[in-house]
Amino acid sequence: MILLTILSILLLCAILSALGSKLHSQIPRFISVLGLLLALGLASVNFPTAITEIFGSTSFDYNVPWIAVAGANFHLSADGLSLLFIVFTLFLGVIGALLTSKISNPGYFFFHYLLLLSGIVGIFMAADLLLFFFFWEMMLLPMYFLMIKYRELNDQNENTPFKFLLYTQVSGLLMLLGILALFFIHGRQTSIYSFELSDLMQTTLSLPVAIFIMTGFVLAFLVKLPVIPFHGWMPATFSASPLAVIFTGILVKTGAYGILRLAIPLFPEASVLFAPTAMAIGIMTILYAGLIAFSSNDIRKIAAYSSISHTGFIIIGLYAFNILSWHGVIFQMIASAIGVGGLALLGDALYRRTGTYDITGISGLWSRASVFSGFGLVISLAILGLPGLANFIAEFLILAGTFQQSIVVTILASIGIVIAAAYALRIVQKVYVGEYRGPVELKDLSLREKMIMSTLVVLLLVLGLYTRPIIRSTEKVLERTLILDSSQPEPLAPGNDASVKYFVNPQID
């Protein structure tokens, strides 16, 4: 009932926020922050217990018939991996709510904001594939309506919300077709028609069929990450909404989670054959997005393409099929959201003080706003992967795991770290040092902004210096997924004699 309670709190607070706006403009924000903190507290208290649980049959499970005639259940479950992302999603949700003290039409905003978070949290809980798809679609419409309402006046691309919806809806439709194909194939093989993940994992598929069905799942998840060439919606989203960084930081995790929870366990052999292509896509994403970030002057665009570049590391880490790289993927999903989120929040603060997002339009901030500049320096160092910060742990683990599969891929991915250092230090050089050039009066960060940025920086430091909690919380589920058999044939990963091995009965139970 804990999982159902968390979802119920978010949905109830969404309704109360919409109704409360008629009484006072601050009531929706108060209700939202209170509800998010309550849900975060419930998830955090139960997090230690979830570490040893098996997904689909946990003590947290809530499983009742949903669409009985179709074999669909309202089945919620959570292990260490799921609850880790639920806690982090709710944490970012609190940060996002605290950033909106002066937002217009707060009832409208917080209603859709909490619906969005409900959909994302539901994705991490769903143990039934039809329910997973329901939550997948549930999170898209609130994001779409928020983008329409709150896109910035200087956003020249009026099609940004439509572009986001088109990318995600088309890819989501492909995933639905894949789910239905699995449903009917499993039903014909066993005479049991079910959308349960644990049931569908037992489906026997020929390799061509598995590749065909897997493509629908993987495309949906690659669009949501996103990677090149499915990234078109993300830079536009960063330019369209002042809180897009929070939304995209959360949405990105759903794509990687989907690959780890669904695509690889459901289609193990097809995933192995897809690995060389996935690594090529990952390298292309790291290098291309990094170069675009380096050549950009708009800090929002730099943040967007930095995030896209980080997803390239996530992809090569996932398809290295290595416990080290998978731990690195978990760290990267968290560290990237914090680091890029902090950069975009500072960019928004810069715009409110100077009227520009252009990093070449202002310089010497350190002499006028030392606290602002100090946080900016730490965030830039995190993005470039400075040892002692979470991003370094993420990239090191991913590269260490990938090295065991392909030296060439590891070397090419390492070039991306050099590019990241270049565009991160370019921000420091252009904005924070040198002779001051900007408004006559420049206010430093407010108390609220200092508290939010301090929280993000402390989290980057803690995760960079003390990795055990994250590793321990996901170790069991990753080991259950990564069951390898060295006696199987070994398809080669690109560029090295090392190989990715076939799975034997992989499970994310």
pLDDT for res 187: 92
The separation between CA 375 and the C-alpha centre of its own chain, rounded to angstroms, equals: 23
Q: Are 120 and 132 in contact (CB under 8 A)?
A: no
Q: Are 99 and 33 in contact (CB under 8 A)?
A: no
pLDDT for res 448: 87
Cα–Cα distance measured from residue 91 to residue 223, given in angstroms and rounded to the nearest whole number: 24
pTM score of the predicted model = 0.90
Cα–Cα distance measured from residue 244 to residue 247, given in angstroms and rounded to the nearest whole number: 5
User: Tokens for 275?
Assistant: 């690995």
φ, ψ at 484 (rounded to 5°): -110, 155
Contact residues for 203 (Cβ-Cβ < 8 A; gap 6+):
182, 185, 186, 189, 266
Q: What is the 3-state secondary structure (H, E, C) of 31-69?
A: HHHHHHHHHHHHHHHHHHHHCCCCCCCCCCCEEEEEEHH
Cα–Cα distance measured from residue 485 to residue 156, given in angstroms and rounded to the nearest whole number: 53
Side-chain-side CA neighbours of 314 within 13 Å: the count stands at 30
Cα–Cα distance measured from residue 304 to residue 272, given in angstroms and rounded to the nearest whole number: 30
Radius of gyration in angstroms for the set of CA atoms belonging to the chain, rounded to a whole number: 22
User: What is the three-class DSSP state of 139?
Assistant: coil
Cα–Cα distance measured from residue 198 to residue 196, given in angstroms and rounded to the nearest whole number: 5
Cα–Cα distance measured from residue 368 to residue 238, given in angstroms and rounded to the nearest whole number: 27
- Taking only the tens of pLDDT, the chain with its 509 residues reads 899 999 999 999 999 999 988 888 889 999 999 999 999 999 999 888 888 888 877 788 899 999 988 889 999 999 989 999 999 999 989 988 888 777 778 888 899 999 999 999 999 999 999 999 999 999 888 888 888 877 654 455 557 777 788 888 888 999 999 999 999 999 999 888 999 998 999 889 999 999 999 999 999 999 888 898 888 777 777 765 556 666 667 777 899 999 999 999 999 999 999 999 999 999 999 999 999 999 999 888 898 899 899 999 999 999 999 899 999 999 999 999 899 888 888 888 888 888 888 899 888 899 889 999 999 999 999 998 999 999 999 999 999 999 988 999 999 999 999 999 999 999 999 999 888 888 888 888 888 889 989 999 999 999 999 988 899 888 888 888 875 433 333 433 333 333 334 343 333 33
Amino acid symbol at 33? V
DSSP 385-450: T-TTSHHHHHHHHHHHHHHTT-HHHHHHHHHHHHHHHHHHHHHIIIIISSS-BS-SS-----HHHH
Neighbours of 56 (CB within 10 A): 20
Q: How many residues are present in the chain?
A: 509
Largest CA distance in the chain: 75
Cα–Cα distance measured from residue 48 to residue 401, given in angstroms and rounded to the nearest whole number: 27
pLDDT for res 503: 41
pLDDT for res 351: 87
Enclosing H/E stretch for 147: helix 140-150
User: Tokens for 67?
Assistant: 């669409």
Neighbours of 295 (CB within 10 A): 12
Q: How far is CA 294 from CA 118, 217, 302, in A?
A: 35, 32, 7
Q: Are 392 and 464 in contact (CB under 8 A)?
A: yes
User: Tokens for 374?
Assistant: 């100090």
Cα–Cα distance measured from residue 114 to residue 40, given in angstroms and rounded to the nearest whole number: 13
pLDDT for res 486: 33
Residue 494: closest CA among 427, 424, 417, 409: 409
Q: How far is CA 380 from CA 122, 235, 377, 488, in A?
A: 33, 19, 5, 44
pLDDT for res 509: 32
Q: Are 244 and 482 in contact (CB under 8 A)?
A: no
Q: Quick one: 63 exposed, middle or buried, by C-beta within 10 A (0-12, 13-18, 19+)?
A: middle
Residue 375: closest CA among 365, 360, 385: 365
Cα–Cα distance measured from residue 425 to residue 94, given in angstroms and rounded to the nearest whole number: 30
Contact residues for 333 (Cβ-Cβ < 8 A; gap 6+):
85, 252, 253, 256, 257, 314
Q: Where are the domains of the chain?
A: 286-483
Side-chain-side CA neighbours of 362 within 13 Å: the count stands at 26
pLDDT for res 247: 64
Q: Quick one: 504 exposed, middle or buried, by C-beta within 10 A (0-12, 13-18, 19+)?
A: exposed
DSSP 293-362: HHH--BHHHHHHHHHHHHHHHHHHHHTTT-HHHHHHHHHHHHHHHHHHHHHHHHHHHHHHHHS--BTTS-
